[in-house]
Chains A and B, each alone.
Chain A
Amino acid sequence: MAEPVITSPHAESKRPFLTEQRRSRITAYTFISPFFILFSIFGLYPIFFTFYLSFFKWDALNPMKFVGFKNYDLVTSDPTFWISFTNTLIMGLMGTVPQVMLALLLAVLLHSGMTKFKKTFRILYFMPNITSIVAVTLVFSTLFGNNGMINWMLNGLGLDSVAFNSGWWGVKIAISTMVMWRWTGYNAILFLSGLQSIPMDLYEAARIDGANRRQQLFSITLPLLKPFIIFVSLQSTIGALQLFTEPYVFLGQAGTGSTRQEGITMVTYLYSEAFRNGFFGTAAATAVMLFLVTILFSILNMLISRGAVGDTGGKKA
């Protein structure tokens, strides 16, 4: 921008450097630059700083001390980290797989069955997602409390109380239920918009050819919904790996329960390393590993959902 006119090094071109095209390009980039500038300050810089920080020992107040790969050693040799890793995977599966299926079912129902109150249902579906997670979790904490409503109902049916606050599966069931409640409706809306993008004449043609509802579902709906299924499951996978607020609030009512082994996730582990223990180096190392795990699972997820949906449909995309 500093020099208005620069002649091109190529002798044959006598055109000025700032051609009309170039100028409009510069204008365009300048216009979108706020995003990139802000992103590099608040997004990119922290990312690189995290990598850098993972090689140092630091409590955020005293000077940083270089320790090489020691932080990674400490994290990978900590059994709690591996518990948090398996917890994240288990709760991820428990929270997303049934949830995505349920969302798809709800979307199909809403799309085909219901004609009345469609808008009302859509709003109802979406409500859980815009409610504050902390508020949601507090409500669910009451339901899943030791003397809460769910145990009361179980007792009423003649069953024993479940230790939702400390049982290995109890905690996971409680947390996955919160995740499901929050995301099912949201994903159903995404699926619904996918369903609405499928042209109706395909179904008409299929009906004329004598295809039944089941055949229509597997040969038209699912294959054409594939991009949405991939998107939803990818998003859910990433969301599941970043699970934090639900276990943190649900188990952390005294500010202490969040590191309970039954419900600790990778992000709660990271958080407590940094902000409770003051070990920012190991927290950064955890973040880097979480990043790698997320990439790995995203790739896996793409491969699986591509394969699975591709096989059920006759058409390869």
Chain B
Amino acid sequence: MDNPKIDIDLDHEELDVVCERPDTLKDARMHYCPGCGHGVAHRIIMEAVAELGIQDKTIGVAPVGCSVFAYHYMNIDMQEAAHGRATAVATGIKHILPDHYVFTYQGDGDLAAIGTAETIHTVNRGENLLIVFINNAIYGMTGGQMAPTTLFGQKTSTSPYGRQREFNGNPLKITELLAQLPGAFYVTRQAVNNPNAVRKAKKAIINGFKYQELKRGTSFVEIVSNCPTNWGLPPVKANEWLVENMLPYYPLGDIKVPSKEDLQP
């Protein structure tokens, strides 16, 4: 069947603009697979930067992983880090620019495997950074290998019979672990699988940026995301799988929030 002809004049003057690309996002087509959460996560971070009016004072650090090209989309100054080292790079930036807003954007392989030491020590020192952690329970970029966050029974290219404790150890709840550290100021787990979740995740990211002004420690925002391609599921099914399988193990919500006194300037 032919596609129905849609006759909309997009340049029509009388159309109201409901939602625009903020200036903090470059006018570039993203390379992410259809339905992937990375694109949404990028957008809400950049919307947060635009709404806070801090584009000229924000430095981002891109990881190694599918979002390695984050700087192709985010219209802010950025540095690309080696696999796992993003929080060390961000620490360096913050020590030169203590009044700027610095964030890292990292996948689970990057942050919770190769970069575990850097992550723990950065948070434990209480560096005034925002760490955005995209947990899709798999290594996306290298083609779907097991991540520390891969769930029991989850099939990946390196856990072909499903992750088993005796061979592969346990899925790592790095976020809960980090929340134990005194340097962690704000720790929360959010998702981007539906509009309501996206709104909450964006609020968390805005908090993470604003808390840097207090210089009281690290903000850590986990975003439970998906990888339709390597999960071998179409986008809608992937989000269903996320709700059924990931959220029971990685429940959404705040894990550590600043007290009223913590928030006094």
Q: Do A and B bind each other?
A: no
Taking beta carbons and an 8 Å cutoff, which residues of A are in contact with B? none
Taking beta carbons and an 8 Å cutoff, which residues of B are in contact with A? none
